[in-house]
Each structure stands twice: as structure tokens, then as C-alpha cells.
Amino acid sequence: MGNLSECFDPKKYISNPTIRCLSPNMVAVPPSDVVTTIRVIRKIKDTGNSSIYSAVDSSLPGDGQQPNCAIKQRSKLKDKSPLTVEKRSQQWKETDIHFQVNECLYIATLLKVIDCSASSLMVMEYFPEGGLMKAIKAGGKYGTDKWVKDAFLQIIKAVEFCHTHGVFHRDLKIENVLVHGDRVALTDFGSATREYTSDRGHGTISIIMPRRRSLPGTKSPYTLAPSDIWSLGIILVNMITKRVPWSIASTSCEDYKGYRDGVPLNGDPLLPLSDEVQVILNMIFEEDPEKRPKISRLYGLIDGCSEFGSEERQKEASRG
């Protein structure tokens, strides 16, 4: 096996790795003579200590030319030194948790994991239309109430499946939702956990709830299910308006302080939310986590919602 740069030279192939093939009941290491051939097409993005590539895997259905899988390459090195045992354990925890919820239609499928000398490769289902953020920016059908409703209900189903199986994502945001036609799917379980509570903050600062940010040196345990609910609220605002409601859920942020002082989100012309959605968001952004709607109730609230954006926003979407 070559070094990391050789593995990901788009002109070369990955072959003869140790493969951990996933099946519904086990993670198995096949005989050493098993060979796989994966051809990398292009790098999609870098995310921290990992990179995402589109690729062709000859063992999967496809014409051999168009990408039929995505590769998440997670380096085992940092500054040329091996990762700590804790960091490596986190990588395998991500794999294990993703596999635990792998059967859900609304979660991107993890096909197999290839363990190389300098990196661990997650071979996953490919979504040619990319991420939800790209779709939202494109407008058109992605800006209509119908699409927003259908897509957001799928995201809720993904989170509900996770919670039912004792998994809490902790980093729900539009960047971690993929799109293929009318289907959307949740991905990136790098911050996910099976713990019911936590005293450590995780996730992107603009999407996390207030009680997930403790002062340095202090620990303030919080329940994880309501935390995911809060993040879903940020996703909903983002899907409708292409914006987030605040930069941080703290009174140091004028937008958040105004909301806590009673200014409705749809009072801002940049956040053209319907009154129906405003009522639901008020439930989601309840400061007391235990008063937020459970995931099953949130599904019912969204399913019963008839209007998501203002009339002006609908006109803009139709023009797109």
C-alpha cells in the first residue's frame, strides 16, 4: 500500500487494502487476498482532519465512469505524527455509530470501511447533487414550501431514527444533509454519541443551544435530544430564508437578545417566515430544553404546517 498522497492521486487506484466489510450483523475482516479497486474522481471538500472525494468503485453498480460512491478519508496522522488513541477511537466510534443507523432511508449509507496505513477510508453512498446548502442557494423548486416541507420531514425522520436507536447527532446543520432528487439524507456522525447527556459542547457555534456552552473550566451537563431539536430549528430557518437567525445563541448577540426580548424572527425582513413557522420555532427555541417538543411531536407540527415562508418569499422562489 502506498503512502497517503499516492492513495489519493486521482490518476491512480487504491488496491490491496484491509477491508472491513459491513453487513447487517457484523463487521468482518475478509481474507488478505480480497482486492478492491477504487478510482478517485475529484476532491469535494476538506473538513478538519478529513477530506471528501467522489470516486468510482468497480465493486458497486455503475458504468465505471460516473462516480458511484463518496470517500471520506480520515487521516491517522496530525503534523506527521500518529493521532492519539483517543482521536483514533473517535474515528472508529464514528464508523460504529453510522453503521448502527445505516438502515434508515434518510441517512446516507455507509458501504464499507477501508483501513490504510496512514488513513481510514469510509466508502459511502454518492449524492450527485451535493449538499443541502448548495440546493438552498440554487433556489427554484428548493425554495418552494412543498420541497421545504418534504425535505425537512425527511430530516426529522432521520433524527427520529437516530434517537430511537440511542444515537444523538450533536452537529445537525445543512452542511451535513445531502440531496439526490427529492430525497435528502443525514450524514457525518463524527460528533455523534450514544450518551444521553453530556457536559461537553459539540457542533457549530451558530446552531448550538445556549446551555451547551459552559464557561471555561466549568461543566454543565445537558440532555442531548433537546439539543438536536434546537439544531433542527436552525436548519428550518436556513432552509426557508437561506440565513441563520443569529450568529450565536447568547445575549451578547443582538439578534438573539432581540428574540429573547420578544421580537419575532419574522419581524426581520431578512427572515420571511410564515406565522405558522414562527409559532413552531418558538416551541423549538424554548430556553428550557425539557419544554421543547419531542421529535415525534415536531414531525406532526411540521406535517400540519401549510405555509412556511411569506408570500414574498414564495414569489421569489417561483421566479428562481
What's the per-residue H, E or C state across 45-99? Answer: EEECCEEEEEEEECCCCCCCCCCCEEEEEEECEECCEECCHHHHHHHHHHHHHHH
Q: Cα dist. 301→290, 295, 306 in Å?
A: 17, 10, 10
Cell digits of residue 111:
458501504
CA 236 to chain centre: 14
Query: d(Cα 41, Cα 38) in Å, to the nearest integer?
Result: 10
Query: d(Cα 230, Cα 88) in Å, to the nearest integer?
Result: 29
Q: Active-site residue among 57, 145, 171, 255?
A: 171
Q: Which residues of 134-164 are buried (b: 16+ CB within 10 A; e: fewer)?
A: ebbeeeeebbbbebbbebbbbbbbbbbbbbe
Give catalytic status of residue 171 as yes or no: yes
- Which residues are catalytic, by number? 171
